[in-house]
Structures are given as C-alpha cells and as structure tokens.
Structure 1
C-alpha cells in the first residue's frame, strides 16, 4: 500500500511534465493567431478606407477594354455598392496581411523542425508569395484585358436592337478576384510538387510517367476555374504546363546534387 502511495506523486509529476509543453504550444498558437487577426483587422481598416481607389485599380483592365468614352458599371441593389467595398477591403487585407500570416505560421512551426529541415523549407516560404504575385500579375496585366476585349466584342446591333454590356459591380469584382486567386494559386504548382518530392512522396520518374494525365488535369482545371472561353483557358493551362516542365528540371538538378553529396 505504501509503495502505491509513493508512486502516485511520481506518476503525477510525469503527467504534469508531459502536458506542460502542450500548454506552452497552445499559448504560443493563441498568440500567433492573435497577431494574425490583429494584422488582418488593421489591413482591412486601411483597405476599406481606400476601397474606392483599390476598386478603381481593379476596374482599370475593363476600362481599357471598352471603346474610348464608353462603358459603365451598374449596381441593381441599393446595398450592393457598400458590400462591394467590404469585399474589396477583405480582399486587400488578405493580400497585405499574407506575409505576416505566413511569418507567424513559420515562427510557430520552425522550432519543431531540425536545422536541415528548416533550411529545406525556408526557400519555399520565400518562393510562395513571389510565385503567387507572378500569377496574379499575369492575370491582371495580360489575361484580364484579353478576356474582357473578347467578351466585349459581342456588343453591337442584333435585329435592330443595341446589345450593350452593362456589368454589375458585384459580379465584376467576383470575376476579378476569381482571376487573381486562381492564377496566383495555380502558379504555386512548383512549390507543391517540390515539397512532395522533398518529402519522398513523388519522384521525377513518377511525374514523367504521369505527364499525360497531368496535361489532361491541367486543362480540366483551366476549364473549371476560368470563364468559358478558349483564350482564358489556354492562358492558364499553358503557363501551368511550362511550370510543370520547369519543376521536372529543378527536381533533376536537386536529385543530381543529392547523389553527389552522398558520394562525397
């Protein structure tokens, strides 16, 4: 009986020692989330204050696609313009606060990684916003102007009646955000494939064997997440295929370097 009483405090101490780090991690996670929320709220306030200027920037490709002196945006519900500004604020806040959110996630995850793992993942952390920005820039400066010109070509006279494009501001904003987000995320394909390769889940030979299926999948994704016109779909599918081939080259170099390191 006495031996049981003597072991109980030791068992309690072991439980306390095992739960203390978990509580520390939860507290740290709460603090990281608070910083993310605070940064997002501040960014939202800033973007909501300048929502008109940000929306004007997003409208510029449509303005350029219209003939000079023509074109207008409408809203059919009294509250639509107000909610468009809120959506613009949320969208802009996510873009501005993303580096802070990514940094907080990294600071929470990094202490649990080995030094070589941190060195392996750090380049991906820097490459993610760069590739997303490149995809968003392609959508804004190239794809959207061409797509809008294609859509506006259907204006004209039909059976003696004027056929005129009158885009609603809410629908236009949803279309623009769809373009930017889809192209931005699509350009993260190399990061995803390289991470899978680094984790040992996918090899270069497997990707080469699956190339024809990946090509079909890319065109299916382009057909689902872009407007139903061939120009836009090709302008998403072609860069994705080029990024896939570029990723194969990068994996070849990394595999070759890894073999040399093992030999030495």
Structure 2
C-alpha cells in the first residue's frame, strides 16, 4: 500500500498518494465521530452543550461549595442563569446540530488525526530526531484535551455566567440565539485546546534552533502582556475570567522555558561531543 512504502524511496507522486491516504483515514475518523455525536443528540445537547447554561453544572456547584467552605457564604451559589436560548431561524437548530456534531467529532478524533499526520511526517526525520520526538502524539493529544477540558469546565461557564448577567439596562432581556451560544462555547473550548499546545510549539522551535531559553526569558514581560491580551480577547471583559485563562498560559510559558533549556543543553552537549575528536587530533 502506498502509505506503508518507505518515504525515503518514494517519488513526489508517491508522497502525494501516501499523504492522500493519511488524510482519508484522518477525515474518516472525524466523520465517524461526528456521526456518533449527531445520533447522540440527547446527550450531546442535553448534557454537554447546554450543560454550562444550567445552574447545576459542575463549575457552579464547585464554586458554591468553595464559597461555603472558605467564607461560609452562599454568595457564589447560582440558583438560575438569567437568560434563555432561542432559535430565531428556521434552520437554526438543525444547523447547530450538524455544526456541534462536527466540532465534537474533531475534538474526539484529534489524537488519531494528529497520529496520522505524524505517521506521514516522521519517516522523513533522522533517527536521532525520531528518538527525541518520541511521544509527540501522546503529549500533543494530552495538552489539547487538557485545554479543551479547561475551556469547557472553567472558562466557558465563567464567560457564560458573566454574559448572562450583563445588562446595559434592566429593560433589555438576554435572549440568546442558539447559533450565538454554540459559537461562543465552541470558540472558548477550541481556543483553550490550541493555546495549551504552547509547550510543544516551543519544543519543536527550540529543536529547530529558532528559539533559545535566553530569548524566552528576555521577552517574558512581553509574553505576559500578550497572554493577557489573548485572555481578554477570548473571554468577556471580566478580570476574573481573564486571570483564569491567563494564569495557566503563564504557567505553560514558564514550562516552555524549562523545556527549551533542556533542549538547548542537549544540543550543546551534542556539539561538544562532536568537537572532541577534532580536538584530540590537534
């Protein structure tokens, strides 16, 4: 089969054929997961998508328990979110059913999708590059899923709660369209999933020599400002929401510096090992 042929011995057309099969399998996984999500409408909408819009959602319950435990107060308890979700277009609910199923299919199939892409790229790497990149699929998938869960269970309910309670005037009621609600939830969740890839991006850029630990430390203050701007962009203009998304990103940035340090030290060690035979000849 073309996909199994060693890529070092393949022509350009063979590479395209191999890539086509990897894409077909990856997209097939997304389609299968999307179909499963589509037929599981009651669970997908009733539990997952509409969950953050209800007061019994996990985050709201935890916030209530935390307030009672620390301050013996029910100020953090949410009895009801003051908004309703409507569908103002005839095709609104059906369109959002399809869209949310595709998004959920992408999220669930992401590890396999990335694995297929990695299978296509990895044969072109040198043996030492393959060795140092071992576990890439696992860590990329782990970070992505961690970001998705963080976005769904933390960022999304805080943002929805803020927007549901925000009013320019008491006479204006919050009646959100299903399209707006699903789009906001999707943007928050996927944005967090992608932003949690920062350590892996720094890892590969460090191995490529594009980024060094010194450079990351030098621009740390600028990076913090950028992170705060990103937090303000994907969350409502609420300082608590911005901090909740910014703090994990700052921690990931610091983690990325340590990853870059490890890569940099290994690279220096390898360079010194290559210089030793020449020094002995001199």
TM class by smaller structure: 0.7 to 0.9
Q: Deviations over 1:154-193 (max 9, x none)?
A: 46983xx4x5422221110001001101111111111111
* Greater per-residue helix proportion: 1
Contact 1:80–1:170 (CA under 8 A) maintained in structure 2: yes
User: Is 1:138 equivalent to 2:150 in the alignment?
Assistant: yes
Corresponding position of 2:38 = 48
> What's the TM-score, normalizing by structure 1?
0.82
Corresponding position of 2:91 = 79
- In structure 1, distance between residues paired with 2:168 and 2:23: 53
| Distance apart, 1:232 and its partner CA | 2.1
Q: Which has the larger displacement, 69-78 or 163-172?
A: 69-78
Going from structure 1 to structure 2, the CA distance change for 1:140 and 1:41 (only over 3 Å counts) comes to closer
Corresponding position of 1:5 = none
User: Of the candidates 1, 10, 24, which is equivalent to residue 34 of structure 1?
Assistant: 24
| Distance apart, 1:94 and its partner CA | 0.8
Corresponding position of 1:8 = none
> What's the TM-score, normalizing by structure 2?
0.77
Partner of 1:67, secondary structure, is coil
Corresponding position of 2:112 = 100
Contact 1:52–1:85 (CA under 8 A) maintained in structure 2: no
Greater Rg by CA:
1
| Distance apart, 1:124 and its partner CA | 2.8
Partner of 2:176, secondary structure, is coil
- In structure 2, distance between residues paired with 1:52 and 1:165: 25
User: Is 1:61 equivalent to 2:52 in the alignment?
Assistant: yes
- In structure 1, distance between residues paired with 2:262 and 2:23: 38
Number of equivalenced pairs? 244
RMSD of equivalent CA atoms: 2.7
User: Of the candidates 9, 15, 18, which is equivalent to residue 25 of structure 1?
Assistant: 15
Q: Deviations over 1:71-102 (max 9, x none)?
A: 53211111100001011111111112222221
| Distance apart, 1:258 and its partner CA | 5.0
Name stretches of at least 5 consecutive residues in structure 2 with no aligned partner: 1-8, 61-77, 277-282
Going from structure 1 to structure 2, the CA distance change for 1:78 and 1:200 (only over 3 Å counts) comes to same
- In structure 2, distance between residues paired with 1:31 and 1:214: 39
Going from structure 1 to structure 2, the CA distance change for 1:209 and 1:51 (only over 3 Å counts) comes to same
- In structure 2, distance between residues paired with 1:145 and 1:246: 27
- In structure 2, distance between residues paired with 1:144 and 1:108: 35
Going from structure 1 to structure 2, the CA distance change for 1:164 and 1:27 (only over 3 Å counts) comes to same
User: Of the candidates 240, 244, 258, which is equivalent to residue 249 of structure 2?
Assistant: 240
Task: Spell out structure 1 runs of 4+ moving beyond 6 A.
Answer: none
Superposition pairs of residues 46-195 of structure 1, within 5 angstroms? 46-56=36-46, 57-64=48-55, 67-68=79-80, 71-154=83-166, 158=170, 161=171, 163-195=172-204
Going from structure 1 to structure 2, the CA distance change for 1:226 and 1:154 (only over 3 Å counts) comes to closer
Corresponding position of 2:69 = none
